[in-house]
Amino acid sequence: MGKQELRYAARVSLDKPAAEQACLHNRWHPDVPPCGTIKNNEVVKIECVDWTGGQIGNNDSADDVKNVDLTRVHYLTGPFEIETAEPGDVLLVEIQDVQPLQDQPWGFTGVFDKSNGGGFLDEIYPKAAKAIWDFEGIFCSSRHIPGVRFAGLIHPGILGCAPSPEILAEWNRREGELISECSHLDRDVALPPQPKNVHAGSASDDIKEKVGREGARTIPGRPEHGGNCDIKNLSRGSKVYLPVHVKGAKFSVGDLHFSQGDGEISFCGAIEMAGVITIKFTVMKDGMAQLGMKSPIYIPGPVEPQFGPGRYIYFEGFSVDEHGKQHYMDTTVAYRQTSLRVIEYLRRYGYDDYQIYLLLSCAPVQGHVAGIVDIPNACTTMGLPMDIFDFDISPGTPAKKMDMGSCAFASN
């Protein structure tokens, strides 16, 4: 008489390579075959592997992070065909819950090596590093970053519907142009389609080859569908409105985060985990026109951790870089400076800079665009919650250096 237990629309195995699981894929392409069908208004559970597909271990070395194979990521679960969805519709995705997998109560935060992925501060912190986080109910703590503990604002880093062929072509055009323009730089500026290690679910060899050749990488997010947006408060209880570009929507989700700070600055910076997400799907017919929508919108859920405004220390940063160079209204430079200010503040307690870099990536820090009009300085702020520390970090209390151990580093 009562409601049935919720159906799993997909289950994953942690014991089997991600590349061999038909409900996973690692490129955006309209031709990846659906791994299942979901009714309009249905609520289902969907399991996800961690985004690296199990490349990172619960240990005290960052060798795995240093050598991570980025051609294989992100492993997303899906795509799912949503009944009645058509191009021009909006898919309303209500996130009823996200949880770690019962038998894997841990996650990781990594800093990529500058030569393999890098991160927001890789000019200054080029080495690979890692922290393992243990989950105890709604809280997490790390043996690699002592003195902190916080409740997760758990969310998917990636969710979206498949691009149409036209949209995919546009992505490849504009990102290809950027790559061409920047070919003189010594760093990757975008990731072009990559046939190596492509996984297209249950696709035939032909389709798989096509997906490898054309398919968009899961890094970065893109305006037309959201995708890898890495938004920290797109969490439990959120209602997300996603544009639909192909028949059946072909929704995919993955990259689950136990917690993330605004910016996810160390790149592999949230607390990455395998888990299960519970979603209700509803199709809004002709929603894109009705909402005047070009990019996804969302309404957060009601349960994010609350510290009170007066329990944050806010740091300011401006678009003058660490070499004294003035940049013109460059919010990215400003946010980098803001991050450095927090590192300088916290290292007074005995933390290594890499520990703080990892922490700011995954703890619930608030990153705000403050002023963006006073030429030439963009100003950004980062709010650091004092209550995640088990000692007093307020500016009024003198800092004492403590033994803070170490995060995991690569072997050399």
**Which residues face 240 on adjacent strands?**
93, 298
Q: Is the peptide bond before 376 cis (omega within 30 degrees of 0)?
A: yes
Kindly tell me the sign of the dihedral angle through the C-alpha atoms of 216, 219, 220, 223. positive
| Residue 317 found at the interface with a copy of itself (CB under 8 A) | yes
Residues numbered 18 to 57 that lie near a copy of itself (CB under 8 A) are 43
In whole angstroms, what is the distance from residue 61 CA to residue 367 CA?
30
The window from 100-108, 197-205, 206-214, 351-359 that contacts a copy of itself (CB under 8 A) reads 100-108
Spell out the residues 6+ positions from residue 387 whose beta carbon is closer than 8 angstroms to its own.
Answer: 150, 307, 311
| Residue 110 found at the interface with a copy of itself (CB under 8 A) | no
In whole angstroms, what is the distance from residue 217 CA to residue 259 CA?
23
Nearer to a copy of itself, 210 or 267 (CB): 267
| Residue 231 found at the interface with a copy of itself (CB under 8 A) | yes
DSSP 274: -
In whole angstroms, what is the distance from residue 403 CA to residue 365 CA?
24
Out of 20, 137, 196, 412, the residue judged to bind a copy of itself by CB under 8 A: 137
Nearer to a copy of itself, 90 or 198 (CB): 90
| Residue 184 found at the interface with a copy of itself (CB under 8 A) | no
The window from 16-24, 80-88, 91-99, 202-210 that contacts a copy of itself (CB under 8 A) reads 91-99
In whole angstroms, what is the distance from residue 207 CA to residue 190 CA?
24
Residues numbered 270 to 299 that lie near a copy of itself (CB under 8 A) are 278, 280, 290-299
| Residue 307 found at the interface with a copy of itself (CB under 8 A) | yes
Out of 63, 86, 97, 353, the residue judged to bind a copy of itself by CB under 8 A: 97
Spell out the residues 6+ positions from residue 157 whose beta carbon is closer than 8 angstroms to its own.
Answer: 51, 74, 228, 229, 230, 254, 255, 256, 257, 260, 264, 270
Least Cβ distance, residue 209 to a copy of itself (angstroms): 25
Out of 52, 109, 259, 337, the residue judged to bind a copy of itself by CB under 8 A: 337
In the three-class reduction of DSSP (H, G, I as helix; E, B as strand; rest coil), residue 93 is classed as strand
| Residue 314 found at the interface with a copy of itself (CB under 8 A) | yes
| Residue 196 found at the interface with a copy of itself (CB under 8 A) | no
Out of 42, 83, 209, 304, the residue judged to bind a copy of itself by CB under 8 A: 304
In whole angstroms, what is the distance from residue 182 CA to residue 7 CA?
47
| Residue 259 found at the interface with a copy of itself (CB under 8 A) | no
| Residue 169 found at the interface with a copy of itself (CB under 8 A) | no
Least Cβ distance, residue 45 to a copy of itself (angstroms): 9
Selection from 318, 307, 313 nearest residue 370 by Cα: 318
| Residue 376 found at the interface with a copy of itself (CB under 8 A) | yes
The window from 19-27, 208-216, 352-360, 375-383 that contacts a copy of itself (CB under 8 A) reads 375-383
DSSP 389: B
Out of 53, 226, 248, 254, the residue judged to bind a copy of itself by CB under 8 A: 226
Do 60 and 129 form a contact (C-beta atoms < 8 A)? Answer: no
| Residue 209 found at the interface with a copy of itself (CB under 8 A) | no
Spell out the residues 6+ positions from residue 332 whose beta carbon is closer than 8 angstroms to its own.
Answer: none
| Residue 402 found at the interface with a copy of itself (CB under 8 A) | no
Spell out the residues 6+ positions from residue 216 whose beta carbon is closer than 8 angstroms to its own.
Answer: 27, 28, 29, 163, 168, 171, 172, 193, 222
